[in-house]
Every structure is written in structure tokens, then in C-alpha cells.
Amino acid sequence: MASLAVKLPITRDSADGFTMIKDFRTLIKQNLKMLLLTNPGERVMEPSFGVGVRSYLFSAFNQATFNTIEAKILEQVSIYLPVAAIKEINFVTKDIDLNTLHISIEYSIPSLNVGDLLEFTI
């Protein structure tokens, strides 16, 4: 079967040399995660690419910050990953003194007629 991309983080695989992504659902999920974690200016030849969620790590976690992050996510997805339709974005802070933010993004891929959930903590 043909491969679409290298799965990140890069790991060795005896079949292909490196672990590869072989389905569009996994590829879109990885691309969404990379879009969220990439800082604007970090990607070569695409200075406006990326949400840069880590840059909000020591911000005051309040509704205004969440609205800013959500707007940036929706803007970036519409530009760089229009194949994904964001349904819901949730932010959870368990303890503001720990400076961690859990982000949960529910999205669908209309062309594949599937939905998925991306969760991570910064």
C-alpha cells in the first residue's frame, strides 16, 4: 500500500524503513496537531503558518485568552487545513498554578464522512 507521509515522531519500521501514515484520517490529525503546535514564523517559506499554542502557556487562562486561541485555531484551519471542519474546542485548566492547559478539539472530515478528536496538554 502506498504511504502518504512519515508518522511523527519519526520511528523505525522494518516494513518501510520508517513508520508511515497510510490513511487520510491519521494524516489530517497529524497535520492539525502540527498546525496547532507550530509557532508563526517557524515554518520555512510560510511565515504566517501556525497557531503557536505553546506561546500562551504562561498567559492568564481566562475566557479572553481562550477566545483568542479559538479564533486563531479557526483562522489557521480555514487557511491551511480546509478539509477539516472544527465542531467544538474545549479548554480545561485543572490548576492555574501548574500552568498547564488541556485542549480538546472535535472535528470532522466531511469528504471522508468521519469525525475525530484531538486532545493534548501544553
Each residue's pLDDT tens digit, 21-51? 888 999 999 999 999 999 999 999 999 999 9
Judge whether 12 lies within some domain: no
Q: What is the pLDDT of residue 38?
A: 95
Domain CATH for 62: 3.10.450.40
The gap from C-alpha 72 to its chain's centroid, in whole angstroms, comes to: 12
Angle in degrees, CA 13, 109, 21, rounded to 5: 10
Please state the pTM of the whole predicted model.
0.87
Q: Output the 3-class SS for 19-52.
A: CEECCHHHHHHHHHHHHHHCCCCCCCCCCCCCCC
The answer to whether the CB of 81 falls within 8 A of the CB of 28 is yes
Q: What is the pLDDT of residue 58?
A: 81
Judge whether 105 lies within some domain: yes
Q: For the chain, how many structural domains are there in total?
A: 1
Above 70 in pLDDT, residue 97? Answer: no
Judge whether 5 lies within some domain: no
> The domain containing residue 102 runs over which residues?
24-121
Judge whether 17 lies within some domain: no
Residue owning grid cell 513508520? 19
Judge whether 16 lies within some domain: no
Judge whether 11 lies within some domain: no
Judge whether 18 lies within some domain: no
Above 90 in pLDDT, residue 19? Answer: no
Tell me the three cell numbers of residue 5. Answer: 507521509
